[in-house]
């Protein structure tokens, strides 16, 4: 049974999770149905989303524009049928005003028509396939798209001495987006692809692929696996002796998620990825965010936490603009909104409802004894390149 939890802010300011309905001011409450993979293959994403939503509410209170914010958290276990089913239940039974969360693309795509039918905003805080925002005019995204980061690492690789590459991608929509846009950037700069391999999204075995890579001897391997799988990839990479073969690993930042990086071992040192967030991003806003997250959850926030934190910010600020109204008016209020996120400056593209943000090129280095993605280059204000497929 998927878990169902409501957040209530206690008088102490602490957020408690309880299983009983909240009755206080129920007629004014604005309900957010938060769907996240709290169990299953993407549980690290679910944990980050849940943590970041709690942190945002702890810092900003639980009442906006006179309406009490009530979060109803549901676990979809990263299974698309569950995502759609719990969304349906949240709409019909709980009468939520907003759907939010969405850890993986398949469940997000399956749910999009429900947001359109119910005419409620659907804030995508994690999933990253380009096409998602095209699937409902009620979808607004605060995470990222794979083409944003993949195009930047592709161009960077071709400019930095990498002449040949192989690719290993997780075999579903974000992986296809990552590969398409890595190749575009890489080949436009003169790079040559040698081989492309897809691995199953659930329980992937990287070993056969890694053996082939040893024999193919590319300058670099481009890797996309969804958040949470980077540790398993790196383990097999080391076990197969690839770390001493001179073949570089490059990728989107999904394989070097800050949430797991500290436990991935020294083989990550020197690895270059492009992504939208690093816990080492040098800004006062980020330092404050990382410190508060660490204090609350004894963990380092990754990019999935930032997508959820910004998703809450977007909801709160848009509610202030509408005077607490939801529906299509809230989506309209979200369009064009811009703010400073822990990741840097971000905005919602009013035409696509997708996030516009900086993409950073980063190298794993030790900072105060712990590995971090240290940013050394940036492409500013990147709109989703996947929206202009020509």
User: How many residues at the interface with ligand PHB, by CB under 6 A?
Assistant: 9
Distance CA 223, CA 234 (A): 11
User: Using the rule CB under 6 A, which residue among 227, 274, 308, 348 binds ligand PHB?
Assistant: 227
With CB under 6 A as the contact rule, the residue among 44, 82, 83, 129 that binds ligand PHB is 129
Q: Which is nearer to ligand PHB, 103 or 371 (CB)?
A: 103
Residue 164 C-beta: closest distance to ligand PHB, Å: 26
Q: Does 220 sit near ligand PHB (CB under 6 A)?
A: no
Nearer to ligand PHB, 179 or 330 (CB): 179
If binding is defined by CB under 6 A, does position 344 make contact with ligand PHB? no
In this complex, which beta carbon is closest to ligand PHB, that of residue 98 or of residue 110? 110
Q: How far is the CB of 323 from ligand PHB (least distance, A)?
A: 33
Nearer to ligand PHB, 30 or 139 (CB): 139
Residue located via tokens 């990287």: 206
Q: Does 40 bind ligand PHB (CB under 6 A)?
A: no
| Residues 165-184 within binding reach of ligand PHB (CB under 6 A) | 174
Question: Does residue number 158 form part of the binding site for ligand PHB (CB under 6 A)?
Answer: no
Stretch that binds ligand PHB, among 124-132, 274-282, 291-299, 310-318 (CB under 6 A): 124-132
**Looking at 33, 37, 154, 226, which residue binds ligand PHB (CB under 6 A)?**
226
Ramachandran region, residue 104 (left: φ > 0; alpha: ψ -120 to 50; beta: rest): beta
Q: Which two tokens stand for residue 283?
A: 């800004």
Least separation in angstroms between residue 360's CB and ligand PHB is 16
> Rounded distance, CA 209 to CA 80, Å?
27
**Should residue 254 be labelled a site residue for ligand PHB when binding is judged by CB under 6 A?**
yes
Does 251 sit near ligand PHB (CB under 6 A)? no
Which of 110, 118, 120, 127 is in the footprint of ligand PHB by CB under 6 A? 127
H/E/C letters for each residue in the chain? CCCEEEEEECCCCCEEEECCCCCCCCCCCEEEEEEECCCCCCHHHHHHHHHHHHHHHHHHCCEECCEEEEEEEEECCCCHHHHHHHHHHHHHCCCCCEEEECCCHHHHHHHHHHHHHHCCCEEECCCCCHHHHHHCCCEEECCCCHHHHHHHHHHHHHHCCCCEEEEEEECCHHHHHHHHHHHHHHHHCCCEEEEEEEECCCCCCCHHHHHHHHHHCCCEEEEECCCCCHHHHHHHHHHCCHHHCCCEEEEEHHHHCHHHHCCCCHHHCCCEEEECCCCCCCCHHHHHHHHHHHHHHCCCCCHHHHHHHHHHHHHHHHHHHHCCCCHHHHHHHHCCCEEEECCEEEEECCCCCCEEEEEEEEEEEEECCEEEEEEEEEEEEECCHHHHCC
Decide: is 104 part of the binding site for ligand PHB (CB under 6 A): yes
Which residue is closest to ligand PHB by CB?
A: 226
Residues 266-325 that bind ligand PHB (CB under 6 A): none
Sites for ligand PHB among residues 356-385 (CB under 6 A): none
Binding segment for ligand PHB (CB under 6 A), chosen from 23-31, 123-131, 283-291, 356-364, is 123-131
Nearer of residues 226 and 385 to ligand PHB, judged by Cβ: 226
CA nearest to 86, candidates 111, 120, 118, 113: 111
In the complex, the smallest distance separating the C-beta of residue 127 from ligand PHB, rounded to whole angstroms, is 4
* 241: its two tokens: 């002796």
230 counts as binding ligand PHB under rule CB under 6 A: no
Q: Confirm or reject binding of residue 122 to ligand PHB (CB under 6 A).
A: no
- How do 30-36 and 67-75 pair as beta strands? parallel
Could you give the string, one character per residue 181-210, with x where binding to ligand PHB holds by CB under 6 A and - elsewhere? ------------------------------
User: Which spans of this chain sit near ligand PHB (rule: CB under 6 A)?
Assistant: 104-105, 127-129, 174, 226-227, 254
């Amino acid at each position: 049974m998927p878990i169902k939890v409501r957040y209530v802010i206690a008088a102490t300011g602490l957020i408690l999770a309880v299983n009983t309905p909240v009755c206080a001011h129920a007629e004014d409450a604005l309900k957010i149905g938060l769907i996240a993979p709290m169990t299953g293959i993407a549980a690290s994403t679910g944990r980050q989303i849940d943590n970041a939503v709690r942190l945002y509410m702890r810092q900003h209170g639980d009442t906006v524009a006179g309406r009490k914010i009530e979060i109803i958290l549901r676990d979809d276990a990263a299974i698309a049928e569950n995502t759609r089913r719990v969304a349906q239940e949240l709409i019909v039974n709980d009468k939520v005003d907003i759907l939010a969360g969405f850890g993986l693309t398949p469940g997000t795509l399956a749910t999009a028509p429900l947001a359109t039918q119910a005419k409620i905003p659907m804030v995508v805080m994690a999933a990253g396939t380009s096409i998602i925002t095209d699937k409902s005019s009620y979808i607004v995204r605060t995470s990222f798209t794979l083409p944003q980061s993949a195009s930047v690492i592709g161009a960077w690789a071709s400019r930095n001495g990498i002449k040949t590459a192989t690719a290993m991608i997780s075999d579903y929509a974000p992986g296809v987006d990552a590969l398409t846009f890595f190749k575009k950037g890489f080949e436009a700069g003169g790079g040559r692809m040698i081989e492309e391999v897809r691995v199953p999204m659930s329980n992937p075995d990287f070993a056969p692929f890694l053996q082939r890579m040893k024999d193919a001897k590319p300058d670099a391997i481009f890797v996309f696996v969804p958040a949470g799988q980077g540790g398993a990839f790196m383990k097999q990479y080391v076990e197969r002796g690839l770390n001493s073969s001179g073949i570089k690993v490059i990728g989107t930042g999904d394989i070097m998620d800050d949430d797991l990086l500290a436990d991935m071992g020294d083989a990550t040192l020197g690895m270059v990825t492009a992504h939208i967030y690093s816990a080492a991003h040098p800004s006062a806003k980020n330092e404050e965010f990382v410190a508060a997250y660490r204090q609350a959850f004894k963990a380092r926030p990754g990019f999935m936490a930032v997508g959820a934190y910004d998703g809450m910010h977007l909801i709160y600020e848009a509610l202030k603009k509408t005077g607490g109204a939801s529906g299509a008016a809230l989506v309209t209020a979200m369009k064009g909104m811009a703010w400073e996120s822990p990741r840097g400056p971000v905005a919602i593209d009013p035409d696509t409802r997708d996030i516009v943000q900086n993409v950073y090129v980063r190298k794993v280095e030790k900072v105060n004894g712990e590995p971090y993605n240290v940013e050394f280059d940036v492409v500013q204000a990147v709109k989703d390149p996947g929206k202009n497929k020509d």
